[in-house]
């Protein structure tokens, strides 16, 4: 009972019946806060009618927006908001509504306000809050205010959106035109970006290929050129392209740095080679000086021969050590061989003398001059060498009887004076050893010469001897502390057990060399014995290591011999087309292996070194021969390139031929170092001229293509803006088609393909419009002769009613086909055909008109439709059918058909008129 009472006394707006609640809403005053709150609660009522009634009483859009933010998003609330914001049922001022619109975030509400708002500013404010491209396209196509359409179209950015605008925005030609222009710019920009990206990709591919290529003289210059071309591009590379560019640049820099390192290593090796050559030259000069001193001496003593032999052994050892590092050049090798030949010349003469020394001594004692002369002649002592003391005695005995005493003394005095000059020269140059030996020899000679004949020569000899003594004292003064230091150093080295064998041997050799370099300056037996004892202790410690080193030297010798055999086999049968680069690599690797297999035994070092030197020179000669052959082949390629440049040929074909020449150039290999760069510069210059001519031709072709595209674009825009008003303007269309044909073929690409499609669509649309215009003109012409048809129908009705056939008068200005039809219609009333034939013919004409108009045909008329279609195909076989001519023929047949009963005409005339009306409708411009 209590629930019933509550329902009984409850407010009407809370009544269970929706109709009662709707009636109660009319009594609520929105101006009062309590009743307004009741209305706001009723906004969420389950019944749609109640919600609409409650919303109709609320006129504050802010309160409705607050309700919507609280979760109420019903359709009625949204419609009421749109009504209020659009200004249909409220007195809310425009600035307030614009402010509320600017605070909306619902795309649907904003889109409705932009479409239905009562003010342009309100719509623009709603449009400014829209972000979706679909909504912007709908606004650009459907909005009723042009400014809003233009603002919406201006915010469409994508190619797909602009394409839709050109297809769907038919109510605003400015939107279509601007969208088409922006679409063309966008596509042109996209094509430009694609071209730029293609250029960047091509440049990046060239840079990567350059990074993989081997170094050549123009490698660094080409790398810098590619870097400048990369920096000159306008577009920005993406991350992947930048990474590839940096990787390629790093590889190119590595190639350049590796080449620079090789060049530096080669320069360093060249410096070492020059240093070794200077050392070898000093050794050769020392030997040559010793040989020269022996030849200028008075006699050749045993001490001189022993000193010469020790000097030769030291020189050969040092020469071989330097040759293991770098081979000597031919000139220095010839000097060394000549010095060795001079040494062998003296040694062999000494050996022959030693073999006969006992017999000569016996002959001197016995006084057998004949036997003595034979023995001296058998010795074959060279005339340019001073004799030994034994030969000197033999010569003196043999020539004592034959040569006058005075002449012999004068000759000896002259030689003595020359020897004094030589001694003075040696003292001035500081050559102590040579000067000491020469001074000793001159003292012996002075004793054998007459004292009364020497005169001033004896005084000069004493003065030079005093200078020699000063030089000896000075050397002793300098060498004394040095000998003490060397004795202490070698004693400490002998007691040092922390050093390795190799380091111990190196230091020992250095100390021994420094000791020997001192010669006999400040020499004494105690120091020499101490130094020798310490050296012997070191030799004992290094005995096992030296044996091991000797075994290694034998292995290195065997490896060097095997290397020489391999190279000799290669040189014995060289390939006819041997690549100089491969031969250079073989040479360099052989040199590395030669250095790696070092040292070798001293007694075999000189022979194997000479053998390798001959092989290396022969290999270098083969390399130079092949390089010169390649140089000749490249000169021939240069001549071909020059002939190709001067040939009258298409630039593209010339460029392809130049590329083929470049492939052949790279396949040849390298010419000699001095010629390769000059030949490459000349060949590259010729190829650049050919490629520049091709690029110029391409640029001209691209310019002509761009001109054709621009002309085609102007023709398309002009034809797109042209809308024919009558069918006689077909000539204008044909003229435009001829101009377009003159511009064909268009350049390949997206722009050209797009132009072709657009041109085809525009031409098809204009042909269709001209065809529709021709049909409409035929229908209008038919309507002018409609009174004549009505007269014939009246005459047909009278004739069919039993009256005498009446002939309808000619209109006078009929075309020839209608005039013939008029005559046939008058003749038909004179001899009427069967009514079934007339009805079938009329139905056939109706179906034919429906086919021309594209209207659907009833199912019962399908046989007629098929027959008419077959007939049309047969009549139009071999030529393009004309719908206007066909319509003209059908209308002429309609005029000629008769007599037609009035009932039949009333049944068919409605379909005929509707069909003609559809044919007379023109397409929109």
Distance, CA of 868 to CA of 245 (rounded, Å) = 71
* Paired tokens of 347: 């040694």
* Contact (Cβ atoms closer than 8 angstroms) between residue 574 and residue 622: yes
What mean pLDDT is predicted for residues 793-816? 77
User: Do 385 and 346 touch, CB atoms closer than 8 A?
Assistant: yes
Rounded CA gap, 885 and 872, in Å?
Answer: 12
Q: Work out the burial of residue 778: count CB atoms within 10 Å of its CB; fewer than 13 is exposed, 13-18 middle, 19 or more buried.
A: buried
From the number of C-beta atoms within 10 Å of its C-beta (0-12, 13-18, 19+), residue 814 rates as middle
Question: pLDDT category, 6, cuts 50, 70, 90?
Answer: very low
Give the model confidence (pLDDT) of 701-710 as tens digits.
878 888 888 8
Mean of the pLDDT values across residues 652-660? 87
At residue 247, does pLDDT exceed 80?
A: yes
438 vs 425: CA distance, rounded Å: 11
CA distance 528 to 532: 6
Q: What does the block give as tokens for 848?
A: 């034919």
| Spatial CB neighbours of 826, under 8 Å, sequence gap ≥ 6 | 792, 807, 808
Sign of CA dihedral 553, 557, 558, 563: positive
Q: Could you tell me which residue, 395 or 247, shows the higher pLDDT? A: 247
- Compute the distance between CA of residue 306 and CA of residue 295 in angstroms, rounded to an integer: 15
Q: Write out the two tokens for 908.
A: 């068919």
**Helices 18-25/33-42 angle, 10° precision:** 150
* Average pLDDT estimate for 222-243: 79
Alpha helices, H only, 103-158: 107-116, 120-128, 133-142, 146-154
CB 852 within 8 A of CB 776: no
Residue ranges of the alpha helices (H) in 518-601? 525-541, 543-572, 580-596
- Provide the token pair at 207: 């840079």
Average pLDDT, integer, range 790-817: 78
| Average pLDDT value over all residues in the chain | 76
pLDDT, tens digit, 9 for 90 and up, residues 282-319:
877 777 777 777 766 666 777 777 777 777 777 777 77
Query: What's the pLDDT score for residue 605?
Result: 78
The answer to whether the bond into 849 is cis (omega within 30° of 0) is no
Collapsing DSSP to helix, strand or coil, 274 comes out as: helix
Cβ-based neighbours of 300, under 8 Å, separated by 6 or more: 294, 346, 350, 385, 386, 387, 388
Which two structure tokens, joined as six digits, stand for 521? 């300056």
CA 572 to CA 567: how far, in whole Å?
8
Helix, strand or coil, per DSSP, at residue 353:
helix
DSSP label at residue 43: T
Tell me how many degrees the CA angle 292-295-297 measures, rounded to the nearest 5: 110
- Return the DSSP state at 861: G
Which tokens belong to 536?
A: 């012997």
Kindly list the distances between the CA atom of residue 718 and the CA atoms of 167, 711, 733, in Å, as whole numbers in the listed order. 18, 10, 11
CA-closest candidate to residue 84, choices 115, 117, 106: 117
Q: How far is CA 348 from CA 340, 353, 381, 600, in A?
A: 12, 9, 9, 28
**Rounded-to-integer distance, Cα 904 and Cα 916, Å:** 18
Range 261-268 average pLDDT: 77
Coil, strand or helix at 829: helix
The CA distance from 604 to 555, in Å, is: 12
- Report whether pLDDT(880) > 60: no
In Å, the largest CA–CA distance within the chain is: 192
DSSP 8-state code for residue 327: P
**Cα–Cα distance, 811 to 516 (Å, whole number):** 148
In whole angstroms, what is the distance from residue 363 CA to residue 374 CA? 10
When comparing pLDDT for 37 and 894, which is higher? Answer: 894
Nearest to 719 by CA among 705, 739, 692, 703: 739
Place of tokens 């679409």: 183
DSSP secondary structure code for residue 155 in this structure: T
Q: Once rounded to an integer, what is the mean pLDDT over residues 344-357?
A: 78
pLDDT at 461 over 80: no
> Using CA atoms, how far apart are residues 679 and 685, in angstroms rounded to an integer?
10
Pairwise CA distance, residues 288 & 432, whole Å:
16
User: What are the tokens at 123?
Assistant: 């719509």
> Cβ contacts of residue 326 below 8 Å, gap of 6+?
269, 272, 273, 276, 277
pLDDT in tens, 80-117: 666 666 766 655 677 777 777 777 767 777 777 777 77
What torsion do the CA atoms of 126, 127, 130, 135 make, to the nearest 10 degrees? 120
Q: Using CA atoms, how far apart are residues 152 and 135, in angstroms rounded to an integer?
A: 9
Give the whole-angstrom CA distance, residue 828 versus residue 842. 14
Q: Helix (H, G, I), strand (E, B), or coil: what is residue 117? A: coil
Mean pLDDT, residues 377-386: 75
Res 445 pLDDT > 80: no
**In whole angstroms, what is the distance from residue 323 CA to residue 332 CA?**
12
Q: Give me the pLDDT at residue 465, please.
A: 77
Q: Which long-range contacts (CB under 8 A, 24 or more apart) does 304-309 make?
A: 304/437, 305/346, 305/347, 305/350, 307/437, 308/343, 308/346, 308/347, 309/347
757 contact partners, CB below 8 Å, separation of at least 6: none
Between these two residues, 563 and 918, which has the higher pLDDT value? 563
User: Tens digits of per-residue pLDDT, 903-919?
Assistant: 888 888 787 778 777 77
Residue 464 has pLDDT above 70, yes or no: yes
Neighbouring residues of 94: CB distance < 8 A, sequence distance ≥ 6? 87, 119, 121, 122
**pLDDT on residue 678:** 84
Q: What's the length of the chain?
A: 925
Which residue has 């919600």 as its token pair?
51
The pLDDT tens digits for 34-93 are 445 545 555 555 556 555 555 554 555 656 665 655 545 565 656 666 666 676 665 567
With a cut of 50, say whether residue 851 has pLDDT above it.
yes
Helix axes 432-448, 405-429, angle to 10 degrees: 160
438: which 2 tokens?
């020469």
Q: What is the pLDDT of residue 51?
A: 54
Find the mean pLDDT for residues 147-152: 81
Please say if the pLDDT value at position 401 is more than 50. Answer: no
How far, in Å, CA of 114 to CA of 144, rounded?
10
Closest CA to 587 of 622, 542, 628, 637: 622
pLDDT of the residue at 528: 79
Q: What is the DSSP letter of 924?
A: P
Give the separation between CA 175 and CA 187, rounded to whole angstroms.
18
Q: In 356-404, which ranges are continuous DSSP H helix? A: 357-366, 369-379, 389-400
Angstrom distances, CA of residue 295 to CA of 2, 390, 419, 578, 695? 158, 17, 11, 51, 77
At 16, is the secondary structure helix, strand, or coil? Answer: coil
Helix ranges restricted to H, 669-729? 673-721
Position 42 scores a pLDDT of 53
Rounded to whole angstroms, the Cα distance separating 918 from 911 reads 11
Q: Read off the DSSP letter of residue 129.
A: T
Whether pLDDT at 448 is above 70: no
CA torsion through residues 348, 349, 354, 358, sign: positive
Dump the DSSP string for 453-498.
HHTHHHHHHHHHHHHHHHHHHHHHHHHHHHHHHHHHHHHHHHH--S
Q: Distance between CA 493 and CA 489 in Å, rounded?
A: 6
């Amino acid at each position: 009972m209590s629930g019933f009472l509550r329902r009984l006394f409850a407010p009407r707006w809370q009544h269970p019946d929706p109709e009662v609640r709707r009636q109660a809403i009319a009594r609520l005053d929105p101006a009062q806060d309590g009743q307004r709150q009741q209305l706001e609660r009723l906004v969420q009522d389950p019944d749609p009618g109640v919600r609409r009634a409650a919303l109709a009483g609320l006129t504050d859009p802010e309160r409705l927006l607050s309700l919507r933010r609280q979760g109420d998003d019903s359709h009625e609330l949204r419609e009421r908001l749109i009504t209020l914001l659009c200004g249909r049922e409220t007195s809310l001022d425009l600035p307030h509504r614009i402010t509320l619109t600017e605070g909306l975030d619902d795309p649907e509400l904003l889109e409705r306000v932009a479409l239905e708002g009562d003010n342009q500013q309100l719509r623009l404010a709603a449009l400014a809050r829209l972000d979706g491209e679909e909504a912007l396209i709908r606004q650009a196509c459907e909005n009723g205010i042009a400014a809003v359409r233009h603002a919406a179209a201006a915010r469409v950015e994508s190619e797909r959106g602009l394409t839709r605008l050109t297809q769907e925005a038919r109510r605003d030609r400015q939107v279509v035109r601007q969208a088409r222009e922006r679409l063309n710019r966008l596509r042109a920009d996209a094509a430009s970006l694609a071209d730029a990206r293609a250029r960047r990709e091509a440049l990046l591919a060239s840079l990567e290929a350059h990074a993989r290529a081997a170094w050549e003289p123009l490698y660094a210059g080409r790398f810098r050129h590619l870097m400048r071309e990369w920096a000159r591009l306008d577009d920005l590379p993406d991350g992947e392209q930048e990474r590839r560019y940096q990787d390629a640049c790093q590889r190119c820099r590595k190639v350049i740095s590796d080449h620079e390192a090789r060049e530096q290593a080669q320069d360093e090796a060249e410096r070492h080679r020059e240093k070794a050559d200077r050392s070898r030259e000093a050794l050769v000069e020392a030997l040559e000086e010793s040989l020269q001193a022996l030849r200028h001496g008075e006699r050749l003593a045993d001490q001189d021969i022993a000193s010469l032999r020790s000097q030769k052994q030291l020189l050969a050892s040092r020469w071989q050590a330097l040759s293991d590092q770098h081979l000597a050049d031919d000139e220095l090798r010839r000097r060394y061989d000549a010095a060795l030949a001079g040494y062998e010349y003296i040694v062999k003469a000494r050996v022959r003398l030693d073999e006969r020394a006992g017999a000569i001594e016996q002959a001197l004692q016995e006084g057998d001059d004949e036997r003595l002369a034979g023995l001296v002649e058998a010795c074959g002592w060279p005339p340019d060498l001073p004799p030994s003391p034994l030969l000197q005695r033999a010569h003196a005995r043999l020539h004592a009887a034959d040569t006058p005493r005075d002449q012999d003394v004068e000759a000896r005095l002259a030689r003595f004076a020359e020897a004094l000059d030589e001694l003075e020269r040696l003292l001035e140059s500081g050559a102590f050893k040579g000067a000491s030996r020469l001074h000793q020899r001159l003292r012996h000679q002075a004793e054998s010469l007459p004292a009364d004949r020497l005169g001033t020569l004896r005084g000069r000899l004493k003065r030079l001897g005093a200078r020699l003594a000063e030089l000896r004292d000075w050397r002793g003064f300098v060498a004394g502390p040095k000998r003490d230091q060397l004795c202490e150093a070698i004693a400490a080295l002998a007691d040092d057990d922390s050093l390795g064998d190799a380091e111990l041997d190196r230091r020992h050799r250095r100390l021994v060399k420094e000791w020997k370099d001192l010669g006999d300056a400040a020499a004494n037996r105690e120091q020499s014995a101490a130094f020798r004892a310490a050296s012997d202790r070191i030799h004992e410690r290094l005995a096992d290591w030296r044996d091991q080193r000797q075994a290694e030297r034998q292995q290195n010798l065997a490896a060097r011999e095997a290397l020489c055999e391999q190279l000799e086999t290669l040189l014995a049968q060289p390939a006819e087309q041997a690549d100089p680069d491969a031969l250079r690599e073989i040479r360099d690797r052989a040199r590395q292996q030669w250095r790696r297999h070092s040292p070798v035994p001293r007694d075999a070092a000189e022979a194997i070194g000479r053998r390798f030197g001959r092989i290396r020179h022969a290999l270098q000669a083969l390399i130079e021969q092949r390089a010169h052959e390649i140089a000749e082949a490249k000169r021939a390629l240069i001549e071909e390139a020059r002939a190709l440049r001067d040939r009258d040929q298409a630039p593209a074909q010339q460029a392809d031929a130049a590329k083929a020449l470049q492939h052949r150039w790279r396949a040849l290999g390298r010419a000699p170092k001095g010629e390769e760069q000059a030949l490459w510069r000349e060949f590259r210059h010729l190829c650049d001229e050919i490629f520049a001519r091709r690029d110029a031709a391409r640029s001209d072709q691209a310019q002509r293509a761009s001109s054709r595209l621009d002309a085609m674009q102007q023709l398309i825009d002009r034809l797109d803006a042209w809308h024919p008003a009558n069918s006689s303007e077909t000539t204008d269309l044909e003229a435009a088609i001829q101009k377009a044909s003159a511009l064909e073929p268009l350049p390949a690409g997206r722009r050209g393909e797009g132009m072709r499609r657009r041109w085809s669509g525009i031409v098809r649309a204009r042909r269709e419009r001209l065809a529709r215009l021709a049909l409409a003109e035929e229908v209008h012409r038919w309507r002018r002769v409609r009174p004549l048809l009505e007269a014939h129908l009246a005459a047909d009705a009278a004739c069919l009613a039993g009256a005498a056939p009446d002939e309808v008068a000619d209109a006078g200005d009929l075309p020839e086909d209608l005039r013939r039809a008029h005559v046939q219609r008058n003749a038909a009333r004179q001899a009427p055909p069967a009514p079934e034939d007339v009805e079938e013919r009329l139905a056939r004409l109706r179906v034919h008109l429906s086919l021309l108009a594209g209207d659907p045909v009833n199912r019962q008329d399908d046989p007629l439709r098929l027959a008419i279609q077959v007939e049309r195909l047969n009549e139009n076989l071999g030529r393009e059918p004309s719908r206007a001519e066909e319509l003209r023929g059908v209308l002429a047949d309609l005029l000629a058909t008769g007599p037609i009963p009035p009932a039949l005409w009333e049944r068919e005339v409605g379909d005929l008129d509707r069909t003609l009306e559809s044919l007379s409708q023109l397409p929109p411009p």
